[in-house]
Amino acid sequence: MTTTFREIAVGRLPVIAIVGRPNVGKSTLFNRIVGKRTAIVGDRPGVTVDRLETECLIGEQQVVLVDTGGIGEGTHDVMQPAIDAQVEAALAIADIVLFVTDAQAGCTPVDEAIANKLRRHQIPVFLVVNKAEKPNLELDFYGLGMGDPISISASHGNGVKEFIAELGGKLPAVRESEEHDSPIASIAVIGRPNVGKSTLINAWLGRDRMVVSNIAGTTRDAIDSELAYGDGYIRLVDTAGQRKHGRIADIIEFVARVKAVQAFKRADTAVMVLDGSEGVVEQDMRLMQLAFDEGCALIIAVNKLDLISEEEWKHYVERLDFRMRGFPEIPTFRITAKTGKGVKQLLGKAVYSAKLNRFELGTGALNRWLSETQEAQHPPSDNGAAVKLKYASQIASSPPSIKIFCNRPKGLKTSYRKYLEQSFRKTFKLVGVPIRFSFSASSNPYAPEKKR
């Protein structure tokens, strides 16, 4: 196969987009190349709707690999125009396209239409014939005029290693590789299906990055986007809409929930989107608690306020305050993502919350706080024995994690532990940020060793 590859812009990683009909194995190939189960894979068409992007190594070259929704077929599917738009967006940034077909189904009219679409874009293409466990199944695809077909079996791994090696040898050159700085903030947008999470991210980005529809569960994967902000950038993660456990009968939705939890683990802030036209339900509370437990600073964004009156808003706030009584103070914003009302202020607060979650405190200041807090209210005794908090050390951030050295850690009552957290949160103004305290009977780690 003869293909001319372009030299890409300075510092930008090559982008490889995987396209093809539904259910031909695009996500399975994506996972094979990445080396882990990043894309959700199912045995029915339409599982991948949005573009899914990740950085990975092809040979010794770092690239951005993009999985896309299936093109064509299902003309009665109301989601198909949105999927086609996402594929067009992927092709607009792609340096190489992997056109995946199904050897067992043979060359179809939809494959021919896709080939014509790719030719119009004039992007280097690898024609990949998947599910080719038997020999010579690729012969049917020569008629597409896309060069020599490459036979593989993504599910079994047949031919994949050789294909990746060939792909690595023909990657476009990066003229100057630049180190990709860490984001100013990593923000996960969470909530139940159809509350407006993707609409919010699109409002921040100023473009239709995410597929948006009134069909619950449109977003199934956690999708990263980058947004320029100040002198750096913000990473935005749109998580799949969360349903109740009992309603996750479909394995796809179950895996989507697991992936949302993984998104929490790498986010500084979680923006919980609630539908202002609906009540606050138990699932909302569980999802917020889950994000908080995973170490995300938490912000509540009540969306669709154009659908409720001021009187209804007052009742909503009362119900929300009652449901949030088990949490520390959490910032709450009123927005209408569809019109952009309040979304700029919300983003600024989310970035600020991420900064708070990365809070770091020097040992001197930390121990002054501990001494003053203990002096203001001494710990209750443990069966008549005095409990003394000796020293403190910050052992992590995101969330702030404090280790306190104590003579009787097991005797420290829950009420006093809560008092310490409240004092720490109030002293250092850590609103909406989870705080971790641990207690150890070890001696002072900063004291000089005794001479023997």
Same-fold call for 185-357 versus 363-440: no
Angle, nearest 10°, between helix axes 414-427 and 363-376? 130
Predicted local confidence at residue 393, as pLDDT: 94
Ligand-binding site membership of 22 (annotated):
yes
Ligand-binding site membership of 131 (annotated):
yes
Alpha-carbon gap, residue 129 to 103, rounded angstroms: 6
Ligand-binding site membership of 198 (annotated):
yes
Helix (H) or strand (E) holding 449: none
Ligand-binding site membership of 64 (annotated):
no
Predicted local confidence at residue 44, as pLDDT: 42
Across the chain, which has 452 residues, the per-10-residue mean pLDDT values are: 48 77 87 68 44 75 78 53 58 82 91 82 88 91 91 92 90 58 88 84 73 43 72 77 45 47 81 87 86 93 86 89 91 92 94 95 95 94 90 94 92 93 95 94 56 46
**Could you tell me the end-to-end alpha-carbon distance of the chain, in angstroms, rounded to an integer?**
75
Alpha-carbon gap, residue 193 to 250, rounded angstroms: 15
Contact 240, 222 (CB under 8 A): yes
Instruction: DSSP letter for 385, please.
Output: B
427, burial (CB in 10 Å: exposed 0-12, middle 13-18, buried 19+): middle
Instruction: Answer yes or no: CATH 3.30.565.10 is held by domain 363-440.
Output: no
Ligand-binding site membership of 101 (annotated):
no
Ligand-binding site membership of 191 (annotated):
yes
Predicted local confidence at residue 375, as pLDDT: 94
Alpha-carbon gap, residue 54 to 65, rounded angstroms: 5
Ligand-binding site membership of 432 (annotated):
no
For CA atoms 341, 346, 347, 348, the dihedral sign is positive
Predicted local confidence at residue 70, as pLDDT: 61
Ligand-binding site membership of 10 (annotated):
no
Predicted local confidence at residue 262, as pLDDT: 64
Predicted local confidence at residue 276, as pLDDT: 86
Say if pTM beats, i.e. exceeds, 0.75: no
Ligand-binding site membership of 130 (annotated):
yes
Predicted local confidence at residue 77, as pLDDT: 54
Predicted local confidence at residue 356, as pLDDT: 95
DSSP reduced 3-state for 198: helix
Predicted local confidence at residue 158, as pLDDT: 92
Outline where DSSP puts E strands in 152-284.
185-190, 223-229, 232-238, 269-275
DSSP reduced 3-state for 390: strand
- Tell me the fold of 15-168: Rossmann fold (3.40.50)
| Range 52-81 burial, b when 16+ CB lie within 10 A, else e | bbbebebeebebbbbbbbbbbeeeeeeebe
Ligand-binding site membership of 68 (annotated):
yes
Domain extent listing, the chain = 15-168, 185-357, 363-440
Alpha-carbon gap, residue 375 to 369, rounded angstroms: 10
Alpha-carbon gap, residue 124 to 408, rounded angstroms: 67
**Residues of the chain by 3-state class (helix, strand, coil), percent to 5:** 35, 20, 45
- Record the tokens describing residue 108, joined without a space: 């179809």
Predicted local confidence at residue 355, as pLDDT: 95
Taking the domain 185-357, which CATH number applies? 3.40.50.300
Ligand-binding site membership of 132 (annotated):
yes
